[in-house]
Amino acid sequence: MKHSILKLATGLAAVAIAVQGQSAEETKIFAALAMTKAQESSPIPTDSGVFLYDREADDWIRTGPVIQMISSITTDPADPERIFLACGNGIVRSLDGGETWKMTSGWRESDFTKIAIDPQDGRNIYASSIWGVSVSYDGGESWKPANRGLAEKFSRTVVVDERNPKRVLLGTADGVYQSIDRAHTWKRVRSTPRSVILRMARSEANLDLWIVGTEGEGVYLSRNDGKTWSQTAPALANNNIYAVAVDPFDASRMAAGGWGTGVWVSNDGGETWKARGEGLPSQNVTSMVFDPQKKGRLWVSTFEEGTVHSDNLGRNWNEGGLMGAYVYDLGVIGVE
């Protein structure tokens, strides 16, 4: 079997990123994970890495290079043949749709969590890690640190503003930071909580709407394109929120979840929230994403108890596979 991410299946699922400027027909769902519950003793981690969901077969297919830890996968919005993996040992790139792979980062760079690519100029690439931000201005050929202005370097998530690609938002251990000069300098957004930002997502239906999950302070929303933030979902106010998502077809529909919380959903833009954890195989939620090819479908991963999906905002859940996995991220990538 060829390890091609983009040419394997007609419906995929793995790491969380919003695909900018592409229709639902040009996107697939993906998943980066480790099979922790059923891990076999082996020098080669054959049951960890990136898995893709084949919609026709209703099954997950492992693909890509064999690497111990892959936290995220990203494709260039302008050229989906260019694929980047955020890995524990560095950044891995493919220029041919996943046929071949190459490590492009140096030995000093490690523990990457997320990668974001400028939708207008694929030479500009930003990678978050536990050591801060690394940036490439030459398409991933070389990388350098870009931490000027950060009070805390630990970063879990990074997003490029598709309306203004000079602007980059970063989730750190000190809240949300913003750069308006392609990561040359950073400045903290004052109204965000001074805690670890675990997830960040932007609504594709309303680009002014952002949502973040935090460590110990629940869920925060911005309704003015990240300028100010306010806490929402009072029942989750003291929880670690590892998963957030907004329906790409309807900005009023969103979901959040974390350790011990199950899934909570809102159908009115975050004004009110309802618990929808009944029927989940575990109340420990690690990631989630709305399906761009199945309107209204929400995918959720639970710690070591598999993925599930719902077509009615969690009133009912259906088994989704990957039993035993710790899914670092569920998300969407672009394809040719």
Q: What is the pTM of this model?
A: 0.89
**Euclidean distance between CA atoms 186 and 183, whole angstroms:** 6
**Euclidean distance between CA atoms 2 and 328, whole angstroms:** 24
Q: Going residue by residue through the chain, which has 336 residues, state the pLDDT in tens, using 9 for 90 and above.
A: 233 333 322 233 333 333 444 444 466 677 887 877 765 555 555 567 888 878 888 888 887 888 878 999 999 999 999 999 999 989 999 999 989 999 999 878 899 999 999 999 999 999 999 999 999 999 999 999 999 999 999 999 999 999 999 999 999 999 999 999 999 999 999 999 999 999 999 999 999 999 999 999 999 999 999 999 999 999 999 999 999 999 999 999 999 999 999 999 999 999 999 999 999 999 999 999 999 989 999 999 999 999 999 999 999 999 999 888 899 998 887 766
**Euclidean distance between CA atoms 229 and 231, whole angstroms:** 7
One-letter identity of residue 62: R
Q: Tell how strand 125-129 and strand 132-136 pair up.
A: antiparallel
Which residues contact residue 170 at a Cβ distance below 8 angstroms, ignoring those fewer than 6 apart?
Answer: 128, 133, 150, 155, 157, 158, 176, 177, 178, 179, 186
What would the pLDDT profile of 97-130 be if each residue is shown by its tens digit?
989 999 999 878 899 999 999 999 999 999 999 9
**Euclidean distance between CA atoms 191 and 207, whole angstroms:** 19
What would the pLDDT profile of 284-321 be if each residue is shown by its tens digit?
999 999 999 899 999 999 999 999 999 999 999 999 99
* 3-state DSSP assignment of residue 118: coil
Assess contact for 260 and 283: CB atoms under 8 A: yes
Surface-to-core class of residue 232, CB atoms within 10 Å of its CB (0-12 exposed, 13-18 middle, 19+ buried):
buried
* 3-state DSSP assignment of residue 104: coil
Task: For 10-25, give one letter per residue: b (16+ CB within 10 A) or e.
Answer: ebbbbbbbbbbebebe
DSSP string, 287-336: EEEE-SSSTT-EEEEETTTEEEEESSTTSS-EEEE-TT-EEEEEEEEE--
Assess contact for 292 and 20: CB atoms under 8 A: no
DSSP string, 222-245: ESSTTSS-EEE-GGGTTS-EEEEE
**Euclidean distance between CA atoms 198 and 224, whole angstroms:** 21
